[in-house]
Amino acid sequence: MERIYIFTRFERFWHWTQALLIIAMLITGFEIHGTYSLFGFDKAGQLHVYAAWALITLWVFAIFWHFTTGEWRQYLPSFKKIDVVIRHYAWGIFQGEPHPFKVTRARKHNPLQAFAYLGVKLLINPLVWISGLAYLYYNELNAAGVALSLGLVATLHTIGAFMMLCFLIAHVYLITTGHTVTAHLKAMISGWEEADAEHGKQAS
Amino acid sequence: MKISHLGLLASLLFAGIVQAADAPAPTKLNTTADHSKFKELQREFTSGPEVTKACLTCHTEAALQIHRTKHWTWELVNPLNQQRLGKKNVINNYCLSSGTNLGACATCHVGYGWVNSSFDFKSQENVDCLVCHDTSGNYKKLQGGGQPPVKDTENPPGSGKIVKAIDLAAIAQKVGKTSRDTCGACHFFGGGGDGVKHGDMDSSLASPEKSVDVHMDATGLDFTCSTCHKAPAHDVVGSRYTPTGKDAGDAHIRGKVNKSNPATCQSCHGQTPHKTGTQPAKLNQHSDKVACQTCHIPQFARGGVPTKMNWDWSTAGKLTPEGKPMLKKDAHGHVVYDSRKGDFVVAENVTPEYAWFNGEVTYTLLGDKVDKADGITLINALGGNASDGRSLIWPMKVMRGSQPYDPVNKTLVKPHVAGNDDTAYWKNFNWEKAIETGMKDANAPFSGKVDFLKTEMYWPITHMVAPKEKAVGCNECHTTGGRLDNIQGVYIPGRDANQWVNLIGWLAAGGTLAGVMLHGLVRIVRRKN
């Protein structure tokens, strides 16, 4: 059994705090959207804004961390072996085959994963972030001459929220697809990935 | 040190006592004049105009100032649309119109003797100073010309009700500033009874609790009407004919020329009144779309006095088998049917309806075409929408009713209802005769045919501001089916959503969930194998 330290302490703190905040914002956000009544609009709005500022702060630190450590390269897209990974999730995983991608310190996400996270970082996050700030500062923007429609801002923010929700559902499920059901979860808690001995054989 | 301190204290106390004994401090008055010391008022008065003459010896311009106001003329031309309005001209869906009914209506005129068109509007002594400036609470006016009773008088004549004489000299010697009582003597009782007309003004405001009106709170801020409705040169600010729909200005500052209406909320509170609470900035940002009143007056008629919400004149005239008019009351003792007037709906603690309003009011006046077939006739149509930049969402009392009109000429009518003669409706119960008299007086054509049509009248609600803890909460509008459910042209989070985004969004999220569950299920099944 091979053990690799792939998630540093900051990365794990960032991940779990972000997870908590995003779940909190989905819950309060869909209440603001009028989907259900839980805290009441007032409280939901307040919690959503607090969580938003906490998340923005966290993202500022995370972006800084990504660039200073060079970890941003983890998300560089690559089509290399992507067909093999797709085949694994569509077929091999049901046959009990090991994952074709070998996790290394330099490349800790398989190509499909890297694409997904890049999408989150370049599409969903900016959409949620920009539309959210426009929502928050709607009056100031209009006063400054940026004539925005609140309906448009809210709709874009909602689209972002739905995309984030879809990502979250898929992400939570894919955690269970390690060589054991809890292997990925344990890695994000301890930082150590226990790689299967069989790992990467097919791809090599 | 101690001794010298004590000495100082003692000498101060002593000085105070000496001063108090020498010259007793006068009662702290808000005025420099004690009217009881005026020679002009130390005499017997046998009529209202005599008192006015005495007032005018010092207050030389007062009557001329009153002559310029709509309190006197009951008339004004709306500068926005040139409509001739005022109590003299408008038709409403309460007692319908003044016209030939002046004997009853003009009891609330700030003058003496207005019963018909022969009244002299140029007369200074016909101005009634006391009705606004009485502080004794003893002043009274009789129906049929509004004279004060200087001897015991049967009023209305033939009613058997004796009105006790009042001492005009004693009242004149106690004149002072206007009060909630003097303004309220007419304005609380508009529409013919306590709270009938406005919904946000009734006798509960004479000495209200904080919960009824945070500003007028008798043991707190204790505002009078004129605290907001200032009256430089007797010209009282604030109007229902030409109201301010949106005050986008800052709070007024002493010394700075402020041309805007000084009776608006913003004229004191400015545009960013929320300083505390969970999200003060967000609340302040509402002020570009939502009138202060919309959140801060959660209900009207909160003081225990019901207001009239519906008045159906079409059912008036039902008499007892003996041919007598009757009254029906509800469980609370409020009249719900009166043979003279028809059916009423009264209500307390009424949640307002809401509408965009920019301050423009267009009345349906005598001569304007109305038709039952057109549905509901608006007594006063309000201007405003989400996009004109001059409108706010306002709370409204919507007075609904059914009232007589001329179905041939297609006009509203001015019936002669009050009076002790053989055409007044309240005595004879004959619409044709009553309308003929009223329309003849107004020089308006009447076909002789009478029908009833449904009407609505809008009353922007602005009084009875509740303490902030009682303000309307976010949830009451930011939801479907909430208070602002009918408000168009604005995106309200929690109420509105793009239904396509919702549909596609939930399909995507549901699809993802179904997909991963299916994938997981296949894994479980395969693992067992």
In which residue are the tokens 């009938």 written?
Answer: B196
Using a CB–CB cut-off of 8 Å, the residues of B that contact A are: 278-279, 282, 285, 288, 473-475, 478-480, 490-491, 493-498, 501-502, 504-506, 508-509, 512-513, 515-517, 519-520, 522-523, 526-527
Residue pairs between chains A and B whose CB atoms are closer than 8 Å:
94
Q: Is pLDDT above 60 for B4?
A: no
Q: Is pLDDT above 60 for B173?
A: yes
Q: Is residue B443 classed as helix, strand or coil in its secondary structure?
A: coil
Rounded to 5 degrees, φ, ψ at B428 are -110, -15
Antiparallel, parallel or unpaired: β B380-382 and B361-363 = antiparallel
Residues of B in contact with A46 (CB under 8 A): 278-279
Q: Is any Cβ of chain B less than 8 angstroms from the Cβ of A33?
A: yes
What is chain B's mean pLDDT, rounded?
A: 93
Handedness of CA B33, B35, B39, B40 (dihedral sign): positive
pLDDT confidence of residue B2: 47
**B208-256: pLDDT as tens digits:** 999 999 999 999 999 999 999 998 899 999 999 999 999 999 999 999 9
Task: Mark out the alpha helices in B418-487 (DSSP H runs).
Answer: 425-428, 431-441
- Predicted TM-score (pTM) of the model is 0.90
Rg (CA), chain A: 19
Confidence bin at B25 (pLDDT 50/70/90): low
Closest chain A CA to residue B521 = A94
- Here the tokens at position B193 are 């009874």
**A15-42: pLDDT as tens digits:** 999 999 999 999 999 999 999 999 999 9
pLDDT confidence of residue B22: 58
Q: Report the distance separating Cα A69 and Cα B226, nearest Å.
A: 69
DSSP readout, A17-45?
A: HHHHHHHHHHHHHHHHTTS--SS-HHHHH
Rounded average pLDDT over B43-55 = 97
Q: Is pLDDT above 80 for A56?
A: yes
Helical packing angle, A41-69 and A125-136, nearest 10°:
130
What fold, for A2-195? Fumarate Reductase Cytochrome B subunit (1.20.950)
Confidence bin at B276 (pLDDT 50/70/90): confident
- Here the tokens at position B172 are 């004149």
Exposed e or buried b per residue across A167-180, where buried means at least 16 C-beta atoms within 10 angstroms of its C-beta? bbbbbebbbbbbbe
Residues of A in contact with B473 (CB under 8 A): 40, 42
- Mutation target vs B (from A27, A30, A31, A33; most B CBs, 10 A cutoff): A33
Q: Which of A42, A49, A170 sits opposite B475 (nearest CB)?
A: A42
- Here the tokens at position B108 are 């609330």
List the domain range (segments joined by +) for residue B341: 307-476
**B66-109: pLDDT as tens digits:** 999 999 999 999 999 999 999 999 999 999 999 999 988 999 99
CB distance B112 to B145 below 8 Å: yes
Percentage of chain B beyond pLDDT 70 is 94
CB distance B303 to B334 below 8 Å: no
Q: Indicate whether B343 belongs to any domain.
A: yes
What is chain A's mean pLDDT, rounded?
A: 90
Across the interface, do B496 and A151 touch by the CB < 8 Å criterion? yes
pLDDT confidence of residue A99: 86
From the number of C-beta atoms within 10 Å of its C-beta (0-12, 13-18, 19+), residue A200 rates as: middle
Taking alpha carbons only, the member of B105, B193, B97 closest to residue B143 is B105
Confidence bin at A193 (pLDDT 50/70/90): confident
Across the interface, do A96 and B527 touch by the CB < 8 Å criterion? yes
Exposed e or buried b per residue across A43-75, where buried means at least 16 C-beta atoms within 10 angstroms of its C-beta? ebbbbbbebbebbeeebeebeeebeeeeeeebb
Taking alpha carbons only, the member of B245, B253, B259 closest to residue B288 is B245
Q: Indicate whether B388 belongs to any domain.
A: yes
Q: Is pLDDT above 60 for B19?
A: no
Q: Is pLDDT above 60 for A200?
A: no
Pairwise pLDDT comparison (B28 vs B311), residue with the higher score:
B311
CB distance A1 to A192 below 8 Å: no
Q: Report the distance separating Cα B303 and Cα B200, nearest Å.
A: 9
Task: Mark out the alpha helices in A70-199 (DSSP H runs).
Answer: 82-90, 111-119, 125-136, 138-143, 150-174, 183-190
Angle at B364 between CA B359 and CA B365, to 5 degrees: 115
Measured between CA atoms, how close is A70 to chain B, in angstroms?
32
DSSP readout, B360-388?
A: -EEE--TTS---GGG-PEESEEEP--TTS
**First CA to last CA distance, chain B:** 102
CA B391 to chain centre: 20
> For residue B459, what are the β-bridge partners?
B397
Q: Report the distance separating Cα B269 and Cα B247, nearest Å.
A: 11
pLDDT confidence of residue B20: 47
For chain A, domain boundaries = 2-195
Task: Mark out the alpha helices in B178-312 (DSSP H runs).
Answer: 180-187, 225-228, 266-269, 280-285, 292-296
pLDDT confidence of residue B15: 46
CA A114 to chain centre: 11
Q: Is residue B170 classed as helix, strand or coil in its secondary structure?
A: helix
Q: Is residue B313 classed as helix, strand or coil in its secondary structure?
A: helix
Q: What is the dihedral of CA B460, B464, B470, B472, to 10 degrees?
A: 0
CA B498 to chain centre: 40
Residues of B in contact with A49 (CB under 8 A): 279
Q: Is residue B249 classed as helix, strand or coil in its secondary structure?
A: coil
Q: Indicate whether B397 belongs to any domain.
A: yes
> For residue B335, what are the β-bridge partners?
B329
Strands (E), B160-203: 162-163
pLDDT confidence of residue B23: 60
Rounded to 5 degrees, φ, ψ at B493 are -55, 135
pLDDT confidence of residue B528: 56
Exposed e or buried b per residue across B217-236, where buried means at least 16 C-beta atoms within 10 angstroms of its C-beta? bbeeeebbbbebbebeebeb
pLDDT confidence of residue A21: 98
Angle at B297 between CA B292 and CA B300, to 5 degrees: 145
Q: Report the distance separating Cα B59 and Cα B118, nearest Å.
A: 27
Q: Is any Cβ of chain B less than 8 angstroms from the Cβ of A96?
A: yes
Distances (CA, A) of A31 to A35, A52, A166, B479: 5, 15, 17, 10
Percentage of chain B beyond pLDDT 90 is 86
Residues of A in contact with B504 (CB under 8 A): 162
DSSP readout, A50-91?
A: HHHHHHHHHHHHHHHHHHHHTGGGGG----TTHHHHHHHHHT
| Least-confidence region, from B21-25, B143-147, B257-261 | B21-25
> For residue B404, what are the β-bridge partners?
B452
**First CA to last CA distance, chain A:** 18
Pairwise pLDDT comparison (B267 vs B20), residue with the higher score:
B267
Q: Is any Cβ of chain B less than 8 angstroms from the Cβ of A151?
A: yes
- Mutation target vs A (from B496, B518, B521, B529; most A CBs, 10 A cutoff): B496
The DSSP secondary-structure symbol of A122 reads: I
Residues of B in contact with A32 (CB under 8 A): 478, 493-494
Rounded average pLDDT over B28-42 = 88
Confidence bin at B24 (pLDDT 50/70/90): low
What's the ipTM?
A: 0.92
Antiparallel, parallel or unpaired: β B451-460 and B392-406 = antiparallel
Rounded average pLDDT over B465-485 = 96
**B303-329: pLDDT as tens digits:** 999 999 999 999 999 999 999 999 999
Q: Which of B279, B479, B493 sits opposite A154 (nearest CB)?
A: B493
CB distance B447 to B408 below 8 Å: yes
Q: Indicate whether B73 belongs to any domain.
A: no
Residues of A in contact with B278 (CB under 8 A): 42, 46
Across the interface, do B496 and A154 touch by the CB < 8 Å criterion? yes
Strands (E), B140-226: 153-154, 162-163
Q: Is any Cβ of chain B less than 8 angstroms from the Cβ of A165?
A: yes
Q: Report the distance separating Cα B147 and Cα B114, nearest Å.
A: 10
pLDDT confidence of residue B284: 93
CB distance B364 to B91 below 8 Å: yes
Q: Indicate whether B223 belongs to any domain.
A: no
| Least-confidence region, from A96-105, A109-118, A150-159 | A96-105
- Mutation target vs B (from A31, A50, A133, A139; most B CBs, 10 A cutoff): A139
Rounded average pLDDT over B14-24 = 50
Across the interface, do A138 and B285 touch by the CB < 8 Å criterion? yes
Q: Report the distance separating Cα A109 and Cα A117, nearest Å.
A: 9
Task: Indicate the number of domains in chain B.
Answer: 1
CB distance B32 to B159 below 8 Å: no
Measured between CA atoms, how close is A32 to chain B, in angstroms?
5
Residues of B in contact with A37 (CB under 8 A): 475, 479
Q: Indicate whether B434 belongs to any domain.
A: yes
Q: Is pLDDT above 60 for A199?
A: no
Confidence bin at A163 (pLDDT 50/70/90): very high
Confidence bin at A105 (pLDDT 50/70/90): confident
Residues of A in contact with B495 (CB under 8 A): 34
pLDDT confidence of residue A1: 61
For chain A, give the longest Cα–Cα distance: 62
Q: Report the distance separating Cα B82 and Cα B161, nearest Å.
A: 43
Measured between CA atoms, how close is B413 to chain A, in angstroms?
46
